[in-house]
Each structure stands twice: as C-alpha cells, then as structure tokens.
Amino acid sequence: MTVTAPRHAATGQRGAPPSGPPAPPSRRDSRSGGRPRRRRSVASTIIGGIGELLITLGVLGLLFVVWELWWTGIEADSERQETLEQFYSDDGLQAAPARETGGPDPADFEVCMTLEDGTEIGCADYMAEQTGWDDVMGVMYAPRLGEDWAAPIRHGVGREQIDRGGVGHYPDTQLPGELGNFAVAGHRNTYASMLGNQDALQTGDQIYVVSAGDGMFIYEVAERRVVQPNETDVLLPVPGEPDLEPETGILTLTTCHPMYSNAERLIHHAEIVDFIPLGGEAPEDIAHHEGIDQLFYTGDE
C-alpha cells in the first residue's frame, strides 16, 4: 500500500520525488498494514453458533407459549360456545319433557337420595348414558367464576374431553344423585382455562349442574385444599377417608396449582343441597344464561 507524505515535506518540481526520508506509517496503518487479519478460533465459532441456536430456541419457545396460552384458549372457547348451543338445541333437548308456560311446572322425578333436612334429590340416569367421547353429560354453572361462566361436562379427563373448553368427569367417581363423589377436572391456564379462577370460590358459593334429561343438581362449596398430584384420595366417595361409607353427595373440582404450574393440585369440595326437576323454577343467578329457559321456568315467559 502507498503512504502519503505530509504536505510540508513536498519540494521541487511537480512529479519529482520528495526530498528527505519517507514519513513513518501512522498508528492505524501500522496496525492494519502488512499483517493478515486474525481469524476466529474454532472455539469462538462454536460458541457463536450455540448462541445463535439458543436465540432461535428462545424465539420458538416464546411462540409456543403464545400458542399454548392464547391460541388454544380461542379455539377451545369457540368449541365451548358451539357445544352449549348444541346442548340447548332441539336435538339436545329430546330427553326433556314438554313443559307448560306461565309458571313453574316441575316434572315428576325418581328420588335417589334424601338429605337430612328431607330434601329429595333426583337421579342422574340420563347423565349416566352420555359416556361417548363427543357426548355432553351436562353443563356446570358457577356464578362466582363469572356471570357468563358455563362449562360443558364430558365423561373422562383425557385431552379429548378437557381440551375442548369444559370440564371432564373422572370415570371412576360417582354421579350427581348418588351417594359419593362427583369429581371433575379442568384446565387452569390453557384451553379456555375453565378453572382458571377456581381459587375465587368461597365457602357457601353455589354450583349448579344441569342435565337435559334429569334436572338441576345444586351444590354448596364447603372446603378448599391444595394437595400433591399423587394424593388421589380427594376422589374417594368420602374424600380423604378410604374407610368411610358416603352419606351424601359431593362435588369435587380439581385443577393445577399454582397458576402456570402443575406442581400441585387445587381442590374444592362442595356438598349437594338441593335439586330442581325439569320445569321447576331456575335460580335467579343463572336464569339469564341462554338455554336455561328451555329446561326451567325463569319468569320471562
């Protein structure tokens, strides 16, 4: 490369070589001139590649979280809405008896349980028949979890049941109307997060289970627990008491705990307190739900 002499060193005629010794190279030129550029070592190349890989994996991981928490919720909630519409459609109400308008018209029902205060609880024969993968056993309502909260109930707790915007019935547990434990499971963070607000439930809150062919089973929240995933005794006919025989009906809700983790399980137990046969008067706090007026009297007729 050429080196340009300082202006004050140029003398003589144009084109003549400058007099005096050549100027020394600048520091910049001495660093870059005459020496080959240093190449990256193998270790640096490997570390750089690993860094780029980790960044790519991080982006993919973030996209997966967005898909799992957001997109699955949109899909599942859409299916939940379709399921509710189908449940209260003409096809879904074939099991319901014809009802006169103008006031409550409770249907006769078979008594399967009588509470200590004399309250008669009907049977859940129709629910017991809805065990197919696409069948809907009923719909659960819990006003504390939201004014519009409504969860279709399917038989089973696999992905084909609880990933569809609802809750699933543990097959080895009992049904409403039976002595024992009607236990269900639902997602807390994904797939419409049906039990995302379960921890908001308070002692005394009402939970309603509606069957199109049986009636409405009413439960009252009695207990909250946090257990380890292997503590399955919460699903026993008498939760936590393997040696006792059940004397009443229990509803158990199970979901992951804490939020965004499956390290533990959040449990709520509720006791059955009442039953409304088809055609009876619906409780005021769920009478506004679409379809309830097709099974029960809501006062709007």
| pLDDT, tens digit, 9 for 90 and up, residues 87-131 | 998 655 665 665 555 678 898 999 999 999 999 999 999 999 999
CA pair distance 226, 82, nearest whole angstrom:
33
Would you tell me how many other CB atoms lie within 10 Å of the CB of residue 12?
A: 9
Which of 19-28, 67-76, 256-265 shows the lowest mean pLDDT across its residues?
19-28
Q: Report the share of the chain in percent with pLDDT over 70.
A: 74
CA pair distance 255, 189, nearest whole angstrom:
10
Q: Which residue has the higher pLDDT, 25 or 162?
A: 162
Superfamily of segment(s) 72-294: Sortase (2.40.260.10)
CA pair distance 29, 9, nearest whole angstrom:
19
Closest CA to 171 of 186, 153, 183: 183
Q: Where are the alpha helices (DSSP H) in the chain?
A: 27-32, 42-66, 72-87, 125-129, 159-162
Q: In the prediction, which pLDDT does 301 show?
A: 55
Dmax (CA) of the chain: 126
Q: Work out the pLDDT band at 5, boundaries 50, 70, 90.
A: very low
Report CA-CA distances (Å) from 298 to 1, 49, 282, 289.
Answer: 96, 66, 6, 10
Is the pLDDT at 249 greater than 80? The verdict is yes
Judge whether 218 and 138 are in contact, CB under 8 Å: no
Phi, psi at residue 26, to the nearest 5°? -70, 165
Per-residue pLDDT reduced to its tens digit, 203-226: 999 999 999 999 999 999 999 999
**Within 13 Å and on the Cβ side, how many CA atoms surround 191?**
18
Is the pLDDT at 36 greater than 80? The verdict is no
pTM of the model: 0.76
Judge whether 255 and 286 are in contact, CB under 8 Å: no
- Domain locations along the chain: 72-294
Judge whether 273 and 219 are in contact, CB under 8 Å: yes
Two structure tokens written together for 203: 């002692």
SS3 200: helix
Average pLDDT value for the chain = 83
Q: In the prediction, which pLDDT does 299 show?
A: 84
Phi, psi at residue 171, to the nearest 5°? -60, -30
CA pair distance 119, 31, nearest whole angstrom:
96
Residue 276 β-bridge partners: 216
